[in-house]
Structure 1
Amino acid sequence: MASTEDGAYEGFTAEERAAMKEHAREMKTAARRRSNADKAAEAERDVLAKIAEMRDSDRVMAERVHAVVTAAAPTLAPKLWYGMPAYALDGKVVCFFQSAEKFKARYATLGFSDLAKLDDGPMWAAAFALTEVTADVEERIGALVKRAVG
């Protein structure tokens, strides 16, 4: 959310408003789809199309994350969530990929919702910065996703 130097609230940023509008469109699109099989296939096509639109560095990472997540947890269904590739269990997002470009950040993010079973004592990480997806990073992502779906 946008704020002034003195901390006063100024409303949502342009990027946040765009993400909310994108989410509303995603919800309308999902509601119009017919069968569950159609919904799943079209949702994955939507995710792959969104990944294809990303700038090169984000796109390459998103493609690798998509491949790792879908291989590590086939029970997770790809879907768009606020304009980001996400992976859901029974319709509820467990993890997502946020491109660096989305909110003009210096790194992409692999994030997990509160449904992810990553609990580790009284504090644990729920998001991870990504600047590159190497073989080691793929291995870590796969392990996290498997753990998240428990």
Structure 2
Amino acid sequence: MSDNVASRNSLICRGIYSFIGILIGLSVFISWLFFIEPKTDASIHISLSGCLSGVLAAWNFVTHLMHLKDYWRTWLRGLKLFMLIGAFFMIVTAAGFIAYLVLGITKSEKLTVASFYIASVWCFVSFKWAAMLLWHSRSYRNEFADLTVLLDF
């Protein structure tokens, strides 16, 4: 019984962490899009990377919420879809991270508020959320592995 309570508490902590990630991603999107001056290409890319980070955090939040409400038992294919989404965005954000670093180096930018280096940082944060989406979806799917064997018959 205490294991179930501990896992429920850790699941609630994961959900809170994901919700905070949503708020931070949204605030980065709004801040860099509307309030950071001067408007450069990098500031737009930073705001979009922050938005992507918030969206991936929202997917994590939904994953934890659905596990908390025990909805995955009826939609196990959804976990596979979430795993594919996590893997896809891991590849996309890793490519973005490298591209922004290369842009920052080739343009000889200094580390400022609106530089491609900050955009690469937000791509890394988005990569982290995509990796967490893949990891948690996979762990929840493995938790129901015995159920999928029964559904195959």
The structure with more radius of gyration: 2
The structure richer in strand per residue is: 1
The structure richer in helix per residue is: 2
TM-score under structure 2 normalisation?
0.28
Q: Which has the higher contact order (CA 8 A, sep 6+)?
A: 2
